[in-house]
């Protein structure tokens, strides 16, 4: 697409138009990159304003996951036990860490169990943990408990005060079989739809840089639009030693920025969130913030969130004109 075509498409999106897959593919192939990134940021500004959300993540399990995700340091195919470095301070230690991060400005926390799903006994335990955290802190919690059934999600809704649920779809339907064989995409889709129907704020997303094409990323973005995801987490592959992708080449900066911008064109109202892999894009982080992003996980997470230096992140986000949502 040339400059005029990008501007025309941007103006249509600003007026409520949903771009097609073909338009997204042509948009991603443009040589007018500055126009693409600038237009994506205008879309973000129109639909999301200047507010920026910071998130942190806490993992509750310390056993190796049964899933075979090729990218994950906790999966069954990983040769290194990353859980050896897991925070063993328990819930009270996590509450202290949450309070510390909250005092620095982080008000949103995802509680993650890392596994495919939870049985009813484990769900009861996790509901207790969520309620304990909420009774002792003043933060927003999001649950990430895998592919729960409708009845389990209903329990989560009725027995806690959390308002958000997270379940990543990871990649496109075409490429997903290369990333995981132990969880079906249909189960993930059903979980997101059920959470949405129960009134949860839904977060989903995936990983770029697994070996998928730009068309695969576009298909993922289109599916997330169909699922009406409120927030989209965009991870960049961290090739952990011991995983099948440990020697995988990283994406170019241009491809990363283009992906972010195209996601914004496809999902104009969603919260687009930096997730894992921020360390890989430090050199282009400002450019990424000008390409449609408006949220971030703070710190670089491997197993459990740590009390990181949030001050630098806040300065970066505010220097780019964002208002931290607290």
For the chain, the structural domain boundaries read 51-324
CA dist., res. 41 & res. 52, Å (int): 13
CA dist., res. 216 & res. 222, Å (int): 10
> Do 52 and 22 form a contact (C-beta atoms < 8 A)?
no
pLDDT at position 306: 46
Q: What six digits make up the tokens of 304?
A: 């459990």
In this structure, the dihedral spanned by the alpha carbons of residues 286, 288, 289 and 293, taken in order and rounded to 10 degrees, is: -160
pLDDT at position 89: 61
CA dist., res. 169 & res. 95, Å (int): 29
Tell the residue number behind the tokens 């894009």, with chain if given. Answer: 281
> Do 107 and 54 form a contact (C-beta atoms < 8 A)?
yes
Backbone angles phi, psi at 278, to 5 degrees: -60, -35
CA dist., res. 208 & res. 217, Å (int): 7
CA angle 227, 230, 236 (to 5 degrees): 90
Dump strand ranges (E) for 260-314: 271-274, 295-297
Q: Which CATH architecture has domain 51-324?
A: Alpha-Beta Barrel (3.20)
pLDDT at position 115: 79
Q: What six digits make up the tokens of 268?
A: 């104009």
Question: Mean pLDDT of successive 10-residue segments in the chain (326 residues)?
Answer: 96 98 98 97 98 89 77 80 58 87 90 88 95 95 96 98 97 96 96 98 97 98 98 92 89 96 98 88 91 85 51 91 89
> Do 205 and 47 form a contact (C-beta atoms < 8 A)?
no
Tell the residue number behind the tokens 């309070």, with chain if given. Answer: 99
**How long is the chain?**
326
C-alpha closest to that of 60 among 309, 305, 310: 305
pLDDT at position 303: 42
pLDDT at position 81: 65
pTM for the structure as a whole:
0.94
CA dist., res. 260 & res. 320, Å (int): 17
In this structure, the dihedral spanned by the alpha carbons of residues 69, 70, 71 and 77, taken in order and rounded to 10 degrees, is: 80
């Amino acid at each position: 697409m040339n400059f005029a075509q990008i501007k025309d498409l941007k103006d249509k999106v600003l007026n409520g138009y949903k771009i097609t897959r073909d338009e997204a593919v042509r948009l991603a192939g443009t040589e007018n990159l500055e126009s693409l990134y600038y237009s994506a940021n205008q879309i973000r500004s129109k639909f999301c304003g200047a507010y920026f959300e910071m998130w942190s993540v806490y993992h509750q399990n310390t056993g190796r996951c049964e899933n075979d995700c090729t990218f994950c340091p906790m999966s069954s195919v990983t040769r290194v036990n990353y859980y050896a470095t897991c925070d063993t301070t328990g819930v009270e230690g996590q509450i202290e860490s949450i309070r510390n991060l909250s005092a620095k400005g982080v008000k949103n926390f995802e509680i993650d169990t890392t596994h495919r799903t939870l049985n009813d006994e484990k769900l009861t335990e996790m509901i207790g943990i969520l309620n304990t955290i909420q009774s002792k802190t003043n933060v927003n919690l999001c649950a990430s408990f895998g592919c729960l059934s409708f009845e389990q999600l209903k329990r989560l809704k009725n027995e806690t005060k959390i308002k958000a649920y997270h379940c990543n779809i990871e990649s496109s339907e075409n490429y997903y079989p290369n990333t995981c064989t132990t969880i079906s995409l249909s189960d993930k889709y059903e979980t997101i739809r059920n959470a949405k129907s129960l009134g949860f704020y839904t977060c989903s997303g995936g990983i770029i840089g697994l070996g998928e094409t730009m068309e695969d990323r576009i298909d993922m973005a289109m599916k997330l639009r169909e699922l009406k995801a409120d927030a989209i987490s965009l991870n960049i592959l961290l090739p952990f030693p011991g995983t099948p992708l440990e020697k995988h080449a990283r994406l170019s900066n241009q491809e990363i920025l283009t992906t972010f911008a195209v996601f914004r064109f496809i999902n104009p109202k969603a919260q687009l969130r930096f997730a894992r892999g921020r360390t890989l894009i430090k050199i282009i982080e400002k450019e990424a913030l000008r390409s449609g992003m408006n949220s971030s996980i703070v710190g670089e997470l491997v197993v459990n969130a740590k009390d990181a230096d949030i001050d630098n992140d806040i300065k970066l986000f505010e220097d780019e004109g964002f208002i931290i949502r607290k």
